[in-house]
Amino acid sequence: MNLPPTDSIRVPAASLSELSTSLFVSAGLSRLDAERITSLLIDCDLRGVLSHGTLQISGYVSHFLGGQLNPAPCLRVSGEDSATALVDGDGGLGHLAAYRATELAIARARASGVGTAATRNHGHYGAAGSYTRMAAGHGCVGFSVSGHTMGSFRLDRPTWNPFGNPPMSFAFPCGDEAPLVLDMGTSFFEPEHFPALFGQAPAAFFKSIGLVAVANLLSGVMTGMMLPQFQPGNRQYAAAGYGAFVAAVDIGRFVPLKAFVAEVDRTMREVHALPPLPGYARYDLPGGLEREREHDWARDGIPLGREHRKGLERIAAELGIPVPWQCGASVASQK
């Protein structure tokens, strides 16, 4: 789970956004691409999805500088028809290809009721919820997964999950309440938990392994990442081993959107009235806490923990970019 760090300082979103954009531009990206990626990363940070926000920048920029990702990709859209599209990411970071694919899926959903788009040949695409929330904002149910081919298996890999931890997200629009946004890794367990927990809940492990396999088949295999030109020894950019799949469904084709969001709101209020689970202050569905953080952190600043700051400071020093909390910008300690 993404929990606020205890060793953090609060950094205004605008300052962090300026730093992020500058780092990407210095790594060779166009300002337009740098701002698009930054917007998605800051959006994650504001919602408390810190694992997939600006924490990732040092790794992304290192891949650009090292030639593992293409800083100037030319996205190519092919296979377009009334319901589908395929976006080739040209070795760039996955955020750009996934954002374009989501736009295409939404446009097709609005025109035909259902829209899907796949991407391939790009790097990590961040949080799956970034794209499903785009669909929900247009009156659609959104679905997204990202992953890679499952590769060959070795006996020294843990049998509890030999496929990785691809993300999966669903999002539903709402009215006055927080939208339901399920944004998760499909692997539910850490390796060290397997020996102790498998015997207690084997069904949970098997369901998790099944979800991981489904996500990779939809995003790594159905997108064509197993084709010869995308294999590790053949592709130009080593870190561009990912694909993604996005779907949008126009709710209004089945039920009036107004009635749907009213029922989502009613459900959310009913859930909030339930007794909280042990150790928690309230009962909520995915998306509620994130919207609350988005409001509060936009006002108070994004809490950056020590390791988060160190990663940004390291890559900023390498590129000669000033860091706001090191040059007198307004920040506050988090107690």
Span 47-94, pLDDT tens digits: 999 999 999 999 999 999 999 999 999 999 987 788 999 999 999 999
Q: How far apart are CA 53 and CA 204, in angstroms?
A: 28
Span 211-249, pLDDT tens digits: 999 999 999 999 999 999 998 889 999 999 999 999 999
Q: Which strands form 86-88's sheet, in the order they lie side by side?
A: 76-78, 86-88, 114-122, 242-250, 140-147, 167-172, 180-185
Q: Is 21 left (phi over 0), alpha (psi -120 to 50) or beta?
A: alpha
Q: How far apart are CA 176 and CA 263, in angstroms?
A: 11
Write down the pTM of the prediction.
0.92
Q: How far apart are CA 173 and CA 207, in angstroms?
A: 27
Best-predicted range by mean pLDDT among 4-8, 71-75, 274-278? 71-75
